[in-house]
Chain A
Amino acid sequence: MKRLLGILALTASGLFAQWGGELRFCLRSEPKTFNPLMVEDEASETIRYLTGGVLIRVNRQTQELEPELATAWKISARGQSITLQLRQGVVFSDGTPFSAEDVAYTMRALLDPALHSPTGDAFRSASGAVETQVLAADRVSITFPAPVAGLERLFDQVPILSARSPKKEAAVLGPFAVSRYTPGSEVLLERNAHYWKMDATGRRLPYLDAIRLDIQQNRDIELMRFSRGELHLINTVDAESFTRLAQQAPSQAYDAGASLESEMMWFNQNPNAPFPEYKKAWFRSKNFRRAVSAAINRADLCRIVYFGHAQPAAGPISPANRFWYGAQLKPHAYDPKEALARLRQEGFRLIGDRLCDREGHAVEFSLITNSGNKARERMAAMVQQDLAAIGIKMNLVTLDFRSLIERISQNLRYEACLLGLTNYDLDPNSQMNVWLSSANNHQWYPNQPKPATAWEAEVDRLMQAQASTVAREKRKEYFDRVQEIVADEAPFIYLVTKNSLSAISPKVQNALPAMIRPQTYWNAENLFLGTAQVARNAR
């Protein structure tokens, strides 16, 4: 055991590390942009992550902040400004030196209203100018017009651009730089020879010479190529493929535990929705929603649909989000008796095997979900049977994704919907557009002129309070209360939290699969391809 630990330590420190080689994995779509400030899609995000150098990085394993290009930082008492001490002796991939001027240039570009940077949106706490002051060549201060909650974490998404390089878009501070892009085929990233990080032996990282990103939308082909050894990683694998892979090659299948992806259903509570008033009354009833929630057997969903690679969901934040997760919340228990008791409180009664409301309307509604997603279709079929057990008839309708989005966000012609939610950002501030009653992603009743219910008004107040508070613990207190209200009122009926499943070839060394993205290559500079001997030693 001691010997094994020793070998592991040597590998991590770089003594066993092998230099060179090309890591191969897939992008599941064409990257929409190579401008790191304009990234919105997953493929572009992959390239940004591998090529961009940031001031502060969220460690994907510990979820704690780590200094990168900024060696230290200090946030003012009111949370309005941050002063960063920068690393010295760092140069861009084209050899131009990095300084505070580059940070100022990046912040100006990021917050330029003409650019409409999606990354910049998170920094815009209030109207007014953001001032960036270069205090010294290695010291910079940024002042915002209003406090920005979780300010330092936002820098994880901001790669620093070069202010002086003649080829700005080609000069990067990350471990790799884009070398070639063949549309529809591949993106080749080559080692940044000027990357600032060193391994324990003092040699410049990254270990790999290149990363080849094949553009491949078909996940079955991706898995087949991985099995043949043509690919080294699959960042996210669905539960069915994962189970198959785990049977064939258990050492290549990694389940890192709960991910940030949840599946949920909700009822359309919009008063202008085009369906009968009596149905709107059902959907607005907390007891009706809680009854539906209690009638769903989440454990079966996890076991059957996700082959055990999921867990019953309790609320809006997954256990993968260690700090913000509301550990006090428990998933609604499967209890058809409780469901019927709640329904009786609302005047519903069973006539034969059909549930009817106070006025005698049989309880029947349709649930939409996107077609082609096997897991969701199976989940919906199971929910259908669970609800039939308490006399509710649910018609399942699968729609193509575009029609579904049109229904839930524009014409509101739907009664209930089953979809997934992924919070890539750990901070609840990124969910303001979901929880504020005036927000357009407040799915059950978006764009409310004023909060429709007292509890929504309370959620609005708490979300605004946490957004304007600097102390993290106090923010957590506010957001915990939001989670409790949401779990109690059940506007979203959370079903399952999927596990983070990935596939990693035994050739890849130093891989530490994490629960948050990028799950497998978050420490790309430390990854190396080992020979069979090295691989055996390292494992």
Chain B
Amino acid sequence: MNRARNIAIGVLAAVFAVSLLANIFAPVPYAMQFRDFVNAPASRQFWLGTDELGRDRWSRLLYGTRISLLLAPAAALLSTLMAVLIGGIAGYRGGWWDRIVLRVIDIFLSIPWLFLFLIVRALLPLNTSPLASVILTFMVMGLLGWASSARIIRAGAQSLRHSDLVLHARACGCRGGRLLFAHIVPNLKPIVLAQFWISIPTFILGEASLGLIGLGVGEPLPSWGNLLRELANPQAAMSHPSMLAPLVVLVIVMSCFQLLLSQKEFAS
């Protein structure tokens, strides 16, 4: 098991390192258009071929990985923290607090987010740089994406509240914040971590969908999301298998994260 864990750590470290050093490993700037080599297949010059504007896919993948690997977990962390705070307290306190939080979660889950994002985009200033816009996008997703995780964490906290463990702690005089943070939250850790890991690909794919309505990562900045948008044309993907590279990297990274998570759970 340790071997698998080490491999996962090695792969993740390599992906992180290569993407963080993208300006060294990328042979050309990610935005440069080689207009005489549009949709070129993989070659010695372009390792993963070029996209529909003649931009080097390998360079874009490196920079896109950097953006998505940094920002999607950040958004997932933000939403998970909010979910822990709101769901955890609701499950622990119960009563009217729980009922109010549940209603709020229901309302949040029933809001048509697409339209909300449209409004948010309409309110943003136009002269926002692509980098600022991508940070803003992930931040908004993080702030708005806590509800489904909060419901699960609330259920976990509620079942813990009635568990023998907490009953014993109460009998020993443990109350309030100490009971919450010393006994309930540590026992919620597997659920919280699972929610965190699950949120990362959700945010990455969410960003890709938002690109369709103009709230995604702005041109020419790459992200896994807008690189995956190329796969919307399956025929093109079949003729240029190198287009699948972002998907492959996404699957590998997520698998490594999952492997680490399960190893940790197993160890604990």
Contact = CB atoms under 8 A, between A and B. Distances in A.
B183 interface: no
B148 to A, nearest CB: 25
Contacts of B130: 395
Interface centre among B31, B53, B214, B220 (most CB of A within 10 A): B214
Contact of B121 (A381, A403, A413): A403
A397 B235 contact: no
A372 B213 contact: yes
Given A304-B54, A384-B219, A399-B121, A413 B214 contact: no
Interface residues of A, number: 29
Interface string B204-223: 00000000111000111000
B219 A403 contact: no
Contact of A413 (B35, B52, B126, B129): B126
Interface string B125-150: 01111100000000000000000000
A365 interface: yes
A364 B127 contact: yes
12 contacts: A297-B35, A368-B126, A372-B212, A382-B53, A384-B220, A385-B31, A395-B126, A395-B128, A396-B218, A400-B214, A413-B126, A414-B126
A304 B214 contact: no
Contacts, number: 67
Interface string A340-383: 00000000000000000000000011101001100001101110
Contact of A371 (B31, B38, B52, B214): B214
A415 interface: yes
Contacts of B212: 371-372
A398 interface: yes
A145 B31 CA distance: 59
A384 B130 CA distance: 12
Interface in A380-396: 380-382, 384-385, 395-396
Q: Is the interface of B mostly helix, strand, loop or mixed?
A: loop
A365 B127 contact: yes
Contact of A380 (B52, B121, B128, B219): B219
Nearest to B128: A395
A396 B31 CA distance: 13
A413 B220 CA distance: 23
Interface in B179-238: 212-214, 218-220, 235
Interface string B26-45: 00000111010010000000
A310 to B, nearest CB: 15
Given A365-B127, A400-B118, A385 B235 contact: no
A381 B214 contact: no
A366 B38 CA distance: 26
A378 B214 contact: no
Given A395-B128, A403-B121, A377 B213 contact: no
B122 interface: yes
Interface of B: 31-33, 35, 38, 52-54, 118, 121-122, 126-130, 212-214, 218-220, 235
Given A395-B218, A397-B214, A382 B33 contact: yes
Contacts of B213: 371-372, 398, 400
A384 B213 CA distance: 20
A374 to B, nearest CB: 8
Interface centre among B33, B129, B235 (most CB of A within 10 A): B33
A300 interface: yes
A385 B29 CA distance: 12
Contacts of B219: 377, 380-381, 384, 396
B234 to A, nearest CB: 10
A462 B53 CA distance: 41
A415 B128 CA distance: 13
A472 interface: no
Given A381-B33, A397-B218, A415-B126, 4 more contacts: A304-B53, A395-B128, A396-B220, A400-B121
B122 A403 contact: yes
A415 B219 CA distance: 17
A285 B52 CA distance: 34
B118 A403 contact: yes
Nearest to B132: A395
A395 B121 contact: no
Contacts of A377: 219
A330 interface: no
- What are the 10 A-B residue pairs with the smallest beta carbon separation, nearest first? A398-B214, A371-B214, A366-B126, A403-B122, A381-B219, A396-B219, A366-B127, A399-B214, A397-B126, A385-B33
A244 interface: yes
Interface centre among B32, B122, B128 (most CB of A within 10 A): B122
Contacts of B127: 364-366, 395, 415
A372 B118 CA distance: 13
B208 to A, nearest CB: 13
A381 B128 contact: no
Contacts of B33: 381-382, 385
Nearest to B126: A366
A365 B125 CA distance: 12
Given A371-B214, A372-B213, A378-B53, A300 B35 contact: yes
Nearest to A275: B127
Nearest to A248: B235
A395 B31 CA distance: 13
Contacts of A400: 118, 121, 213-214
Nearest to B218: A396
Contacts of B31: 385
A371 B212 CA distance: 6
A406 B119 CA distance: 12
Contacts of B214: 371, 397-400
Contacts of B121: 399-400, 403
A462 B33 CA distance: 43
B181 to A, nearest CB: 44
B221 to A, nearest CB: 10
A364 B125 CA distance: 14
A303 B52 CA distance: 11
Nearest to A307: B38
B126 A381 contact: no
A385 B212 CA distance: 21
A381 B53 contact: yes
A245 to B, nearest CB: 11
Given A244-B235, A403-B118, A395 B53 contact: no
A368 B52 CA distance: 21
B38 A304 contact: yes
Contacts of A413: 126
A50 B49 CA distance: 48
Interface in A455-480: none
Given A400-B213, A400-B214, A395 B129 contact: yes
A452 B209 CA distance: 43
Contacts of B32: 385
B220 A381 contact: yes
Contacts of A368: 126
A147 B212 CA distance: 48
Contacts of A378: 52-53
Nearest to A366: B126
